Structure formats: structure tokens, C-alpha cells
Structure 1
């Protein structure tokens, strides 16, 4: 079992920058604006031979009420309680502030062990702040620079005694975030799922649709920051959960507004992080608000997931607030089929993230969509099916040229992708391609999942064979046979 390291400190001292350095990739958003991080973000940290879990936290502030800063502080305090060691960062260029003193007292009382580090200590500007850190009474501080990698050897030496208390702290953890991300690339291709590998889900939607509340309901705890304010989540937060016996890794993403309304740099980074989560996901849950469903931005988000080749499940949230449920259900299904024909047959589940109603149906829909997304059909079945389709509805003959569909095969899964070899692929109209795709959905039980169908020119198997050398004797024998 490896240890857990929580990085804590007031806003804008460089916690996310250090988190990114320890996990070896830019997972957390970083900006000069203070208070970028709001949720707890976990990652697999690596420092020398040590392997551990590292938690990036929101900046600790003095607020203790139910305001947004107060709720952020409560989440950070929770991380302090669950961590084996806390790395308390101060800004060496600013020195020790009154807030740092308050937080130092808090950590002294609640944290099992505290390592003090003065970040941004490179150059002369950080020298005075480094020496001021001694007054906090938390032991000898470390002089580090998360941005430039200075002082990482000192941090390693400080963590080694912690690691000695854990038997397997130097072993790589069983489920590594790198392995999860690398196993599915942005084109949707991937190998067969290894045993125990979690299904990756991205929960996307407009701001204030209830994405974080839904993820908390699945987890059964208040793991993510929620509230009435729109746009609380700023970056894609990944959490792991065993949901009724099936392992999942769920990405909670920032709300996506219309592109014209996204002006601030930080919001652009948040949206970009959400798009990355969609590309790495296997199933995308598009969360709608039942009171204002299928706005243009919802349609764009669903279309984005389809174009990225991800399995899609539509979840309609706040169903507990709807009074005329039967009428609303019929209305939503009609609008879904009309506005999103490219996702025809995709499951639409009514849920209430606040009460937890409908989560069992949502889980079943996600597992089914993931199974279909990984489905493979044998070439023999495909060609028998293709022969039947051609017999019932032969392709058109543009300009009097008959198009022959000769052979069909599935070239990959995730999403299911098929190639049909034919005589004149450029002459096959789009509506006939849609006819074949809809037939595949119907006859092979693949509702909703993106299907890719490509037409290729079929090759003549005899074109490279040499003509036989027919002699006069052969011609004479042929005439005698005819006679």
C-alpha cells in the first residue's frame, strides 16, 4: 500500500504546478489567477523510486460558512484528514502571511504529519521568504521551485521516512492513470480491455446541469464541490468507483457554454480540458436539465461525442421536479429522435442526481452502450446480411452504371467500423450509406453507438494473372471436343 500526499496552502502558491510535476503530466489547470483549483484532484505521483497518491487541493482560505470558499475549505480539510502526510506550501516571494499562520495552526492540529516547503524560492527574491518560514514552527522548510524542478531531491529525502512506513510504497500501483489514458487513444482505437480495467465515462453538459451532483450520487459521498452557482467545476476531475460490482473511472467536466460566450482564458482552458476528457472516454453521458432540455449547446455537445466516435448515453436530470412525467417523457423522446438523428436509438434515462432515483437504469445503459461500442461481427454474418440488403434494396445505378457491392468486413471496434468493397464507391449516394448504417443498427442490435461505414473500390482478383499460352495443338483439341 502506498502513502497519500496532500498538497495544501493558500491560493496561488503553486500547488497545481507541483502536482503536475509529481504526476509527470499537465493534469491540473494552471493560471496566474488565484483560486483556479476548486475540487480535489488525485493522481499517481512519482519521485525517484517512490510511488504514491498525490492530491491537489483548493487554496485554503479563512471562510468557514456555506459560501463557495467555505465549501472549498471543507473539501480541502477532508483531504488533510485522509492524507498520510501534508505538504504545506507557502510563496517564498511573498513570505509568511497571516493566512499562512492560520493554516499552519490548522495543519498542526489535524494533519498526521506536515512537511513545510517554500515554493518559488529560486533567485534572491525567495531567500527572505524561505527564512521567514521557520517562524511557522513546522520544522525546517524545503526551498523548492515547482515550475523549474528545484529542490525535488530534498523533497524525496523528506518523503523517504514516510515511505518506509508502507510496505509497497516503491511499487507501481495496480491501476495507474497513465495506463488508463494510454490504452484508448484519441482516434478511439484500443486493444481488448484487460481484466479489471475500469470503464471510462465522461459526464458532460451545460453549466449547472448537475454533473458534479450526479457523480457524487454515484460515489455515495460529497466528493466533488457542488452548489447553486453555475460553473463551479473548472477542470476535468477523475474519480474511481466500484459501481455495483463494475469498476468505473468517471470524469466530471466543466460546463460547456456557447463558444461566443467563452471569453476568459481560464474558461477556455476548462472547456479544452473537458474536450480532452471526451476524447479519452469510452462512454459519454450527456446530462440535460429537464426544465430546459435540448438547447443548441446540448445538441452540439452530443454531436461532438458522436463525431469523436464515443458511445453516448443521454441522461435527463432533475426528473423529480417534473410534475407531468408521462407527457414530458413523450415530448423528450420525440425531440431526441428529431434533433439528434445521428444518435438514433441511443438510451435516454431519466434521473435525479439529488435523490438518486434512476441511477440503476443509468448504470445498466452505460454498461450496455459500452458493450455495443466494443462489439465485433464476423465477416460471414456481415456478408450474408449484405446479400439480403442488396436483394431487397439494390443500390442505384447512376448514369446507367450498375454498382456491385462485393464484400463487407469489420475493420475495428470502438466504435464499430466497417468497409464495403464495391465497383464504383464514388457513385454510392449518402442516403444509401445511411440505409446500410441504419440496417446495421437494427439487425445487429447496435442502437445509438456511432457506426463508421467506408466504401472502397474492389480489386479484380485476376488482374495480375498472366494469360495462358494457348498452342495450336490446344486449339485443335478444343475443336474436337466441340465436334
Structure 2
């Protein structure tokens, strides 16, 4: 049976370390600095025979206003209410603090199933904290070490009776319904393999500079305040993945940290956040580059878009905060001209204006993402490609360096995601970049592949002399004759 476990506690008690231990991956950022985690991060955990969803939360702090800490606390309290089981984590070496006592009382009121764990309990340094933990009135404290993996069997033993109680109170699912849903998904996979399913959703990463509105945009797509937002720049630190169904299309959306210029990134934590965002780009299928309408196409925006193209991802450019733009038509014309000039490698990529605050333009953004994914997966038959290649050669023949014309003989598509084509030709090393761009642009226009990265590979064939690199050898009959003494000696 699946259930949800929320890990809560003060900042820097080891919640993210325990989260990484349970999911078996380094998904959450971990640092000695307190308050690293700000958003709710979910992961599929495994502990013994148990399979469940674990939620890493922000550190609980005594702030109830609309400050950043107050908004973080509200998100954590919401996770506590949603979860089936709440694991309250304290630092065994620090012992029970007055803040721990306040939050223990809050947890008793908000969740029926609360377990108490003392992290960093290895060695004698944590014995005092383990004894103090009895005074919180949350039952037997579980001594663990999230860093070294100690006490996981004790945590499993404490979870088992709670899970049994939850399963008794939870209504059973109708097995016939489950089977019919599963069969429907499999049938869809066989009919149209490229379409996203719940098992393999479309992976979308939202990237951009700090304070461009990435978290606000994802909250608007979800229809709820799931991610922490605010006027402060750089709120998001982790790359948070959220599974949603956007207008009937299963997707997994990654909210990433804002990426500043490399020279401005000095702190270790920001470096970790940016590298986590870059990793999300590599795992994504479609990358939404979010711009601020007031200051679009800055140098960092261009670098981010170029990074997504070099990684071979389908790119959609979205311009946020369009609701406050006074001259919309003139601004849109300027944006399109600047896009074509500054990002020629993404010529034809969709440019969508949205407002994350009002939700306007989200339907067009969804259509652009689905279209970009379909183009990214597109395959062209070899017959069509070679007929197209002949027409392109007739319109503009390849150059003739040194008086010998380069011959393009054959073309085929080697892969998709992104589309990759192989051209068999003579002297591929002498083919100029301008002619390669001519072919790539022709592929975009004639096969309706705007914006997606296209990989074109040229391979030599047929013109090389097979005896060029072989050493000269004397025939065997001649060697035999030369071995004899000359006549007359």
C-alpha cells in the first residue's frame, strides 16, 4: 500500500539528507547553511518492503507573517495536513529546543500519525538529546543517522503499525477499475508511441533569469500555490519536479533556480542551485525559456536558450508579465525581430506571450509545448529525404574547392529527439558551414520543423583510393626470380 510521509523539523536538522537517503538519490540540495530547502519536494521512497511518497519540507521557523520565512512555514504546514504520516526530526546533538516544543504541539493537532526521530544520534554525543526527546510526548524517539544510514531498520519498525492502521481506515480501490485504466494506457502506447503517458510523461523544464516568474507560472498552470513565490529574487533553490496533467497531456514540469551570469555566482549554495537547474535541462524534452517582458533577450537569456539548443532540447520562448506591457503590438514586433536576429540557431521556434499573474496565454503556451515535442520526435522517410536532397542540389549546387565539386549522394534520418540526419558525400571536411546552414534551413522549412535543434552529419564515401595507404609489395613470382643468380654468372 502506498502512503505519504512528510519530514518536518527545524532548519539544518538533516531533513534533506534523510530525504536523499530514502529515495536513494541526491535529489535535494544539502549544505551546512540552514534554510537551504524552501519548496516542497516529493520523491518515491523505499524502506525495506515499504514503497511510499516522501516529502521534504522547509525548516519550521516561528514566523507567521507574510515574510519569506512565514510563507515557507505555511507551505510546510500544508504538507503536514496533506501527509498520511508526519516524521518530526530533531537534532540529537543539540537536544530539544523551545522551538521543537512549540512545533511538537502544532503537529499533534494537525496530523493524527506523528513519529519522532532524533537525527545525528550516532555515538555518545546524541545520548542526551535522545533522553530529552521523551519529554515531547510523541512516543518513543527513533535514533537515526541520515548521513550514515544508521537506524533505518528502527524507522521501518515504527512505520509498520502506522501503515497498517492507515490501510484499515482507507477505502479499498475497485480492482476492475484499476485494470481497465491500465489496459487503456497500454493501448494508447501501442497506437501512438510518441504521445506522453502517465508512465512516461512529457518532461518540461522552465528556465530563466532570477525573478522572471518561473514559480508563479507553474503555480498558474497547476491552479494552486504549490511553489513558493514572492518579490524577492532567487527564492527557488532546488529543481522541483511536479507531475501534472495539462489540458489532458501528462507532463512533469521542473521549476529551476534562476540562472545569473557566471561571474556573479559566488556563493557555494547558488552554484549548487544553478548546477541542479542545468541538470534539469539535460533531462528535459522541452525547455521553456522564460523572459521578462520589461528586459527581454539580455545576454544571460541568450546563453540559456543557446544551452538548451546545444543540449538538443526542443525550445519554447515565453515572454512573461505581458499584462503590464503598454504597447503590446509594437513590443511583439520588436521581440520577433530581435529573436530572429539574436537566436538564428532557433529560427522558427515558438514565441508566446503570457501572464503568470492573470493566467492569460497559458493555453497558447501549452499548445506550443506539445507542438515542439511533436516536432522533436518527427521522423522523415528516406525516399522523401533523397527527393528533397536532389531538389536542393538543383537549386544550389555544392561548391567545388580546388576545381573538384563535392558530391552529395545519399541522405537518411539516423535518429529523433532531436532529429538527426546523415549525408553520404565526397570530401565532407571541405564542405563550408554556409552550405550546411542552407541544408538545415531547408529541412526546417520543407518538413515543418521550426525551432527544434537539427543535427546534420556528413560522412565520406567512395572517392578514396583503396591502395593509397598500402605499401608497395613485390609479386611473389618476381621475388622468386630475383632470388636466383643472374644468367651467365
Normalising by structure 1, we get a TM-score of 0.90
Secondary structure (helix, strand or coil) at the match of 2:363 reads: helix
Q: 1: distance between equivalents of 2:195 and 2:147?
A: 36
Residue 149 of structure 2 corresponds to which residue in structure 1?
Answer: 149
Deviation at 1:463, TM superposition (A): 7.1
Q: 2: distance between equivalents of 1:87 and 1:348?
A: 45
Write the mapping of 1:166-205 to structure 2, written as runs, cut at 5 A. Answer: 166=167, 195-196=197-198, 197-205=200-208
Residue 424 of structure 1 corresponds to which residue in structure 2?
Answer: 427
Q: 1:448 aligns with which of 451, 464, 470?
A: 451
Verify the 8 A CA contact 1:92 1:129 in the aligned structure 2.
yes
Residue 348 of structure 2 corresponds to which residue in structure 1?
Answer: 345
Verify the 8 A CA contact 2:113 2:162 in the aligned structure 1.
no
Q: 2: distance between equivalents of 1:420 and 1:332?
A: 35
Residue 484 of structure 2 corresponds to which residue in structure 1?
Answer: none
Verify the 8 A CA contact 1:85 1:115 in the aligned structure 2.
yes
Secondary structure (helix, strand or coil) at the match of 2:423 reads: strand
Residue 189 of structure 2 corresponds to which residue in structure 1?
Answer: none
Verify the 8 A CA contact 2:4 2:84 in the aligned structure 1.
yes
Verify the 8 A CA contact 2:426 2:463 in the aligned structure 1.
no
Deviation at 1:285, TM superposition (A): 0.2
Deviation at 1:163, TM superposition (A): 2.8
- Cα deviation, 1:223-281, whole Å, max 9, x if unaligned, reads 00000000000010000111111111000000000000000000000000000000000
Verify the 8 A CA contact 2:349 2:450 in the aligned structure 1.
yes
Do residues 213 (structure 1) and 216 (structure 2) align?
yes
Verify the 8 A CA contact 2:19 2:55 in the aligned structure 1.
yes
Secondary structure (helix, strand or coil) at the match of 1:286 reads: strand
Query: Relative contact order (alpha carbons < 8 A, sep ≥ 6): 1 or 2 greater?
Result: 1
Residue 25 of structure 2 corresponds to which residue in structure 1?
Answer: 25
Residue 109 of structure 1 corresponds to which residue in structure 2?
Answer: 109
Over 3 Å counting, the alpha-carbon distance change for 1:287 and 1:76 in structure 2 is same
Deviation at 1:131, TM superposition (A): 0.9
Q: 1: distance between equivalents of 2:362 and 2:196?
A: 26
Residue 296 of structure 1 corresponds to which residue in structure 2?
Answer: 299
Residue 5 of structure 1 corresponds to which residue in structure 2?
Answer: 5
Over 3 Å counting, the alpha-carbon distance change for 1:139 and 1:38 in structure 2 is same
Do residues 72 (structure 1) and 75 (structure 2) align?
no
Q: 1: distance between equivalents of 2:374 and 2:327?
A: 33
Do residues 359 (structure 1) and 353 (structure 2) align?
no
Verify the 8 A CA contact 2:196 2:202 in the aligned structure 1.
no
Deviation at 1:87, TM superposition (A): 0.4
Secondary structure (helix, strand or coil) at the match of 1:28 reads: coil
Residue 180 of structure 1 corresponds to which residue in structure 2?
Answer: none
Q: 2: distance between equivalents of 1:438 and 1:158?
A: 62
Deviation at 1:461, TM superposition (A): 12
Secondary structure (helix, strand or coil) at the match of 1:454 reads: strand
Write the mapping of 1:30-45 to structure 2, written as runs, cut at 5 A. Answer: 30-45=30-45
Verify the 8 A CA contact 2:28 2:238 in the aligned structure 1.
yes
Secondary structure (helix, strand or coil) at the match of 2:241 reads: strand
Do residues 406 (structure 1) and 431 (structure 2) align?
no
Q: 2:235 aligns with which of 221, 229, 232?
A: 232
Verify the 8 A CA contact 1:346 1:448 in the aligned structure 2.
yes
Verify the 8 A CA contact 1:107 1:114 in the aligned structure 2.
yes
Verify the 8 A CA contact 1:3 1:162 in the aligned structure 2.
no
Q: 1: distance between equivalents of 2:434 and 2:412?
A: 20
Q: 1:380 aligns with which of 369, 379, 383?
A: 383
Q: 2: distance between equivalents of 1:436 and 1:92?
A: 65
Do residues 368 (structure 1) and 371 (structure 2) align?
yes
Deviation at 1:193, TM superposition (A): 6.2
Q: 1: distance between equivalents of 2:424 and 2:106?
A: 69
- Cα deviation, 1:120-163, whole Å, max 9, x if unaligned, reads 00011111011110010100000000000000000111111233
Residue 94 of structure 1 corresponds to which residue in structure 2?
Answer: 94
Q: 1: distance between equivalents of 2:444 and 2:397?
A: 19
Verify the 8 A CA contact 2:320 2:356 in the aligned structure 1.
yes
Residue 333 of structure 1 corresponds to which residue in structure 2?
Answer: 336
Matched pairs, number: 445
Write the mapping of 1:41-60 to structure 2, written as runs, cut at 5 A. Answer: 41-60=41-60
Q: Which runs of 5 or more structure 2 residues have no equivalent in the other structure?
A: 180-192, 468-489
CA RMSD of aligned residues (A): 1.9
Q: 1: distance between equivalents of 2:303 and 2:43?
A: 31
Secondary structure (helix, strand or coil) at the match of 2:26 reads: coil
Deviation at 1:192, TM superposition (A): 5.7
Verify the 8 A CA contact 1:90 1:119 in the aligned structure 2.
yes
